[in-house]
Structure 1
């Protein structure tokens, strides 16, 4: 079989296009490595997105979609894809070099490191990341780093496969250094971190001692805030994974969320206590500060459920909103001349900027605007050091104010005798007030039924008279009475104690319904109850009476002595228009409703008998 010349031409064009596409794949930019190397290499790297996360190192090696990355700090932000990074190293050294590629980030979740020669043969593969036990790391350093050997004149390709736990990637200032240079840099970094965290602990210990001696709340809250901030920063720097929980990577990530949330929340509590915001802010502004402080704790349960990305997506905006409101409030109070507010504003200003910069790692577009340097990335630590010094001075100033207050108190003792007479008078007034409260309690007890907590018959009569007085002003009157069906039989079968419990349950159920309308229940005697209803129409009164009956039904209390099998109640309800109620008295009102209650029982019980009187005198009409 022979091929048509046109078909041959098409096959050749297809082969040429495919070959051209393969040839057009972005080649790595070579990084020439000499002796004693030590430099950042992120800007010489290439990146490739793997949305499905299924590509192998052989597949990505031939993939044409590689993109050159010229940023000094790689920041992938929030993404559920797998990302690959690639570097080509060319040795210019006359001897073999032991090198370390440091990601510069302690918080990358999963990092696979591959070393391939130019022919694509894999020489080395290592795994790391803060979602793996610390003991699994090739290098026991806070940040994720890998060691490999580069032979003289050799060319190798480095591939990093990055995968996140749930969609958050940390910023990475990739750094390439010789093993010796990396060890020196690590030791220097650990020295500075030791001084930093030692300073935090010393400040916390000092303020704790002051808190124990003075019992002043601001000192205690500040100690708690310092410890939370220490936990967050210790974890953020990868030291918790190295020293506290090396075999619990999930706990390390949870502690990062907990420490961050507690830092935001306790900074708000400290602001409230230190600047006495409850006394210096309006009720609405103070409620806003408190609300944002409480909301700062919301990411904690999310983080404990291991939803790291969601926890930070909640923590960052809520926490920064709280910081913004607190800083704005302190600026306003500082303008008003409050000394504590000025100290607080200065102390937290730089730290707030540093936390904001650190939080922008979740938003690569904004983070890319910032200059890439160690000072920028660790600005929050610089700010916290300034904060420590300023707050130490501020709290020392507070101590001086406390000494002045103590001196004033000692002087006040000398004037105490002159105020004894006023104190005695105050005590007399307090005793009088206590007696008045006791009388009020006795008054309440005199109108309250002891068993059910409802009002008694005496108070019912008072309510009836008040309702008739309101009728003179054009307000309708509605009375509902009910009693428990076959209650005597219930007592005979289940006993009087059970009967009392039933009366309490019925009273509670009906009172719960009446609370919606603002009405109160009265126990008229035995199993009989009554209530004055606040309604405008007879239909509304009937609907409310039906709701009360249904409330008793929902109790579903068994009653073997009742033909209905369950505990039920019968209701009578009368609604008088104002003109019809003007000539009434409580006894006639009671008799009219009692007759309706009797009718409900005669018609089968568990019913609501309703009557509406709409006109006055002999022309009155019942509906």
Structure 2
């Protein structure tokens, strides 16, 4: 014990790394003389453990204790008596002590999760038995990049060797005294990753559902100019923004925003969502309230009560704002349910959906709170109680607004006579719109036609268009005279290129070759087609075959000049082989598309057989006769 006290005195003037190392040494040398957290034995198959009840707790009213000091024998550690730590509103800093024992035979890495994304300041000290230590610092008042795991909450990796005893010290502090509920879980790495993925998916579905409702009703607001839709759009925006900040996603995805803004935005949007809900309900029961002015004033007083936290949040009083906002919210939900029942009995049947929505939110709030307090089991549905309740509430309000809009039909019938004068003008505008849309549709169809005949990878025309053009050009030569040249070419040893460099690199070669060949085309009637994997076709016209041979040799040299390295080819660079079938007007009478293609294909293979990176050509039908004789 004297040795432990001596170590503590020696390190008082040193920095935190030395202090943490000394604390680890104290644990190693002193063993049970300091904090006595119940050991948590790590065994295979433990995907998730709720470990708050196995921790020890130490209050630090001075906010000055260090890791080496909290382990001193004089510190008054006490066990956590509940499955979930609830520090609520506290002016003190708090220390947690956990002791992990590694499974025999294998090292393991676990993830310590503090399931409260709104903790201001967290320090985690991991003290190994041999004196080694690691330290993490995080919190929603600190940069997101400080977190050891990119996670919307707070998670810390803990590496434990086989049979090793590791002490974990967690320091919790708050800028204004609010700490709240803190479930503490220990995950296996795989289970934690799966939980992260599931949470991301469910949150995406939640935000997506509310944003779809928001956009839809924003369109309705633009078309109807009805104030109820404006209240509803604002309510949905505040609901999404509140949950986005509450779940820690704002800190994760909007890292450029100051943490204070995120906390202020959370409280402002939270309070405004309740205010806008109240405004929507008042607007929908206004016909019944018109006969009871005192009740209308009471309704606006309740709405005003929920607006009070807004200025408090803007001046940065997070804890004080919550102390007012939470009771005000619960009182408002109960008041809204009572008002909805009363308005329903007054004949406003659509207010029953406001009642149902408020009930869903109330049940969701209570379920999630009771899960956090371990009153209810940790079921996934309960974990997303507020999210589920808020989505159901939003849907119920949307239905209520839709039913309320039905009441407007009578007013629309009365306004029909006024609309008759505007009908002609609207019809003219509609005609102009239809014509404009028709022109846009024609342009879109033209773009679609171009896309349907174009190879997506290379930008050349595709095989289907090649077949159409070959038949058309051959028929045109028969009818009008002239000549046609069909050239097939492909890249030499391209399979070896793909095998050696990979298919993405092969695709890039195809794009570069296609661009090079298209840049060489001189006549408006010349076309490049991609007819296979690395096989291309050219439909050419020219005065004679020798002219086209010169052109194709220029194309061949251009491809070789790209200098694309090819380790599987003797030339060392990407090259191409060409086969040109030439057909003049006289020969087209006895030549069809298939024969012309077959001839060009045979010439391509002849070029490959003669050493590749060359152009072989022949006239049709002479080449066909030679092929048949062979």
TM bucket (normalised to shorter chain) is 0.5 to 0.7
Q: Are residues 332 and 370 of structure 1, via their aligned partners in 2, closer, same or farther at CA, if it must alter by over 3 Å?
A: farther
Cα distance in 2, alignment partners of residues 395 and 259 from structure 1: 22
Task: Give secondary structure in 2 for the equivalent of 1:296.
Answer: helix
Task: Give secondary structure in 2 for the equivalent of 1:58.
Answer: helix
Name the counterpart of 1:611: none
Structure 1 residue 302, shift from structure 2 partner: 1.7
Name the counterpart of 1:346: 356
Name the counterpart of 2:119: 108
Structure 1 residue 282, shift from structure 2 partner: 2.0
Name the counterpart of 1:28: 37
1:585-604 to structure 2, matched below 5 A, reads none
Cα distance in 1, alignment partners of residues 132 and 87 from structure 2: 26
Structure 1 residue 294, shift from structure 2 partner: 2.2
Q: Are residues 339 and 350 of structure 1, via their aligned partners in 2, closer, same or farther at CA, if it must alter by over 3 Å?
A: same
Name the counterpart of 2:198: 188
Q: Are residues 246 and 73 of structure 1, via their aligned partners in 2, closer, same or farther at CA, if it must alter by over 3 Å?
A: farther
Structure 1 residue 118, shift from structure 2 partner: 4.2
Structure having the higher Rg: 1
- Residues 556-604 of structure 1: per-residue CA shift (max 9 Å, x gap): xxxxxxxxxxxxxxxxxxxxxxxxxxxxxxxxxxxxxxxxxxxxxxxxx
- Residues 268-313 of structure 1: per-residue CA shift (max 9 Å, x gap): 1111123326735622221121122123222222222211111111
Q: Are residues 360 and 176 of structure 1, via their aligned partners in 2, closer, same or farther at CA, if it must alter by over 3 Å?
A: closer
1:465-504 to structure 2, matched below 5 A, reads none
Cα distance in 2, alignment partners of residues 413 and 133 from structure 1: 58
1:211-230 to structure 2, matched below 5 A, reads 211-230=221-240
Task: Give secondary structure in 2 for the equivalent of 1:31.
Answer: strand
Cα distance in 2, alignment partners of residues 131 and 278 from structure 1: 48
Task: Give secondary structure in 1 for the equivalent of 2:86.
Answer: coil
Q: Are residues 329 and 95 of structure 1, via their aligned partners in 2, closer, same or farther at CA, if it must alter by over 3 Å?
A: same
Structure 1 residue 355, shift from structure 2 partner: 3.8
Name the counterpart of 2:105: 94
Cα distance in 1, alignment partners of residues 255 and 31 from structure 2: 47
Native 8 Å contact 2:36 2:56 kept in 1: no
Cα distance in 2, alignment partners of residues 161 and 117 from structure 1: 17
Q: Which runs of 5 or more structure 2 residues have no equivalent in the other structure?
A: 1-29, 421-630
Q: Which runs of 5 or more structure 1 residues have no equivalent in the other structure?
A: 1-20, 415-623
Native 8 Å contact 1:133 1:246 kept in 2: no
Structure 1 residue 57, shift from structure 2 partner: 1.6
Native 8 Å contact 2:284 2:404 kept in 1: no
Structure 1 residue 244, shift from structure 2 partner: 2.2
Matched, 1:260 2:270: yes
1:78-477 to structure 2, matched below 5 A, reads 78-92=89-103, 94-118=105-129, 121=131, 123-276=133-286, 279-280=289-290, 282-355=292-365, 375-403=381-409, 405-407=411-413, 410=416
Q: Are residues 375 and 50 of structure 1, via their aligned partners in 2, closer, same or farther at CA, if it must alter by over 3 Å?
A: farther
Native 8 Å contact 1:302 1:311 kept in 2: yes
Cα distance in 2, alignment partners of residues 346 and 77 from structure 1: 31
Cα distance in 2, alignment partners of residues 293 and 394 from structure 1: 20
Cα distance in 1, alignment partners of residues 186 and 31 from structure 2: 29
Name the counterpart of 2:47: 38
Task: Give secondary structure in 2 for the equivalent of 1:225.
Answer: helix
Structure 1 residue 214, shift from structure 2 partner: 1.5
Matched, 1:60 2:66: no
Native 8 Å contact 1:224 1:266 kept in 2: yes
Cα distance in 1, alignment partners of residues 70 and 402 from structure 2: 60
Cα distance in 2, alignment partners of residues 374 and 254 from structure 1: 29
Cα distance in 2, alignment partners of residues 377 and 277 from structure 1: 39
Native 8 Å contact 2:35 2:97 kept in 1: no
Native 8 Å contact 1:22 1:62 kept in 2: no
Cα distance in 2, alignment partners of residues 127 and 52 from structure 1: 19
Native 8 Å contact 1:38 1:175 kept in 2: no
Cα distance in 1, alignment partners of residues 63 and 411 from structure 2: 66
- The number of aligned residues is 389
Native 8 Å contact 2:250 2:262 kept in 1: yes
1:507-546 to structure 2, matched below 5 A, reads none
Structure 1 residue 222, shift from structure 2 partner: 0.6
Structure 1 residue 225, shift from structure 2 partner: 0.5
Native 8 Å contact 1:277 1:286 kept in 2: no
Cα distance in 2, alignment partners of residues 230 and 59 from structure 1: 44
Name the counterpart of 2:621: none
Q: CA RMSD in A?
A: 2.8
Name the counterpart of 2:428: none
Native 8 Å contact 2:88 2:179 kept in 1: yes
Task: Give secondary structure in 2 for the equivalent of 1:48.
Answer: strand
Task: Give secondary structure in 2 for the equivalent of 1:339.
Answer: coil
Structure 1 residue 81, shift from structure 2 partner: 0.8
Name the counterpart of 1:553: none
Structure 1 residue 233, shift from structure 2 partner: 0.9
Structure 1 residue 50, shift from structure 2 partner: 1.4
Structure 1 residue 206, shift from structure 2 partner: 0.8
Structure 1 residue 373, shift from structure 2 partner: 5.1
